[in-house]
């Protein structure tokens, strides 16, 4: 048992001192944050600045910090060089469906692993983890054979359908979160006669807002930036995704890559992710409120 100091004259200087110390720490950490943020935002600066340079200026050494003349027309040129709009749409369709599929299926499976102690659950769990331990190049060929037997080559299906059957990474992640939810909540739910599926929907999901938002972001970024799978499975140009289109810029060993256009594409490609992140940010705040009430 600790004694809680009641308002006594001797207590006030000590709290005062303490508050000042916290302030010092806060200021120090604030400065640290500002410095790190600067480093983290360098790529943005670099991308935007490069995207506005002319082709000739790209070859300058030492490189210029800001463009000598601002080539806004680069942002028009990208639509003329690549089938940019179409690629953007393709990536958006694939990305959105992947997020929906991943969220639903991973949340279900993770709940199964986290809340029930069934026969063989450990075995399946380890098996699931092990699917992440085989490097992609090792399964590329047999996977291609499989999808080609299903007649899925040159369709979006190999890029979307697997997401609807859960991704090991996200299942593991959500399982960790579901495991931290207190038993009492579910016991109470069971008393009220909730079905298991309903408890998943009404108790587990609402309480895991931040985790679900994280999964949504991760799944989207993964799909959005994925290059290897679309390169392998898509053959018609009108089905290409953004990363595939962008990689064609640096493909030629015989030409100087149009870095400026590549950066234009990179800047534009970031917009959906930033938007998604901004939305998810709000989820984080809500997450606090919800857990606060419980």
Segment interacting with other proteins, rule: CB under 8 A, options 6-14, 72-80, 86-94, 169-177 = 169-177
Per CB under 8 A, which of residues 101..130 are in contact with other proteins? 104-106, 108-109, 111-124, 126-130
Minimum CB separation of residue 190 from other proteins in Å reads: 11
Minimum CB separation of residue 9 from other proteins in Å reads: 18
Member of 93, 97, 186, 202 binding other proteins (CB under 8 A): 186
Counting runs of H as helices and runs of E as strands, what totals does the chain give?
A: 15, 0
Backbone angles phi, psi at 151, to 5 degrees: 65, 40
In contact, 47 and 263? CB cutoff 8 Å? yes
Per CB under 8 A, which of residues 232..291 are in contact with other proteins? 232, 235, 237, 243-244, 246-256, 259, 262-263, 266, 269-270, 273-274, 277-278, 281, 284, 287-288, 291
Member of 100, 143, 194, 201 binding other proteins (CB under 8 A): 143
Burial zone of 260 (CB within 10 Å; 0-12 exposed, 13-18 middle, 19+ buried): buried
Applying CB under 8 A, does 191 fall inside the site for other proteins?
Answer: no
Minimum CB separation of residue 192 from other proteins in Å reads: 17
Minimum CB separation of residue 70 from other proteins in Å reads: 18
Minimum CB separation of residue 161 from other proteins in Å reads: 8
Alpha-carbon dihedral of residues 76, 77, 79, 81, nearest 10 degrees?
180
Cβ within 8 Å of residue 155, ≥6 positions away: 233, 239
Member of 169, 189, 219, 241 binding other proteins (CB under 8 A): 169
Residue count, binding to other proteins (CB under 8 A): 137
Distance CA(12)–CA(5), nearest Å, equals 10
Distance CA(254)–CA(167), nearest Å, equals 39
Member of 66, 141, 188, 279 binding other proteins (CB under 8 A): 141
Cβ within 8 Å of residue 124, ≥6 positions away: 113
Applying CB under 8 A, does 155 fall inside the site for other proteins?
Answer: no
Minimum CB separation of residue 66 from other proteins in Å reads: 15
Kindly give the residue spans of alpha helices, DSSP state H, lying in 183-249: 183-191, 196-199, 205-207, 209-225, 228-233, 242-247
Per CB under 8 A, which of residues 48..87 are in contact with other proteins? 50, 55-56, 59-63
């Amino acid at each position: 048992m600790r004694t809680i100091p009641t308002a006594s004259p001797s207590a006030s200087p000590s709290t005062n001192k303490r508050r000042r110390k916290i302030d010092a720490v806060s200021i120090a950490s604030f400065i640290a944050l500002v410095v790190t943020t600067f480093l983290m935002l360098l790529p943005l600066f670099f991308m935007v600045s490069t995207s506005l340079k002319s082709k000739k200026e790209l070859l300058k050494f030492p490189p210029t910090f800001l463009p000598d003349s601002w080539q806004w027309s680069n942002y028009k040129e990208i639509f003329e060089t690549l089938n940019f709009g179409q690629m953007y749409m393709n990536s958006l369709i694939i990305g959105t469906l992947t997020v929906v599929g991943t969220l639903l299926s991973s949340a279900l499976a993770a709940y199964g692993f986290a809340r029930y102690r069934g026969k063989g659950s450990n075995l399946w769990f380890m098996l699931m983890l092990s699917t992440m331990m085989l490097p992609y190049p090792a399964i590329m060929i047999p996977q291609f054979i499989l999808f080609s037997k299903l007649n899925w080559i040159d369709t979006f299906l190999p890029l979307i359908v697997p997401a609807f059957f859960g991704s090991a990474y996200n299942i593991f992640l959500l399982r960790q979160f579901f495991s931290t939810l207190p038993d009492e909540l579910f016991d109470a739910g069971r008393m009220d006669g909730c079905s298991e599926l309903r408890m998943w929907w009404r108790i587990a999901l609402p309480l895991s807002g931040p985790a679900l938002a994280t999964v949504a972001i991760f799944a989207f970024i993964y799909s959005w930036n994925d290059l290897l799978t679309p390169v392998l499975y898509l053959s018609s140009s009108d089905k290409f995704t953004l990363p595939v289109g962008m990689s064609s810029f640096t493909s030629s060993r015989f030409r100087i890559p149009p870095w400026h256009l590549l950066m234009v594409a990179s800047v534009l490609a970031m917009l959906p992710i930033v938007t998604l992140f901004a939305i998810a940010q709000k989820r984080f705040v809500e997450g606090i409120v919800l857990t606060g009430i419980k």
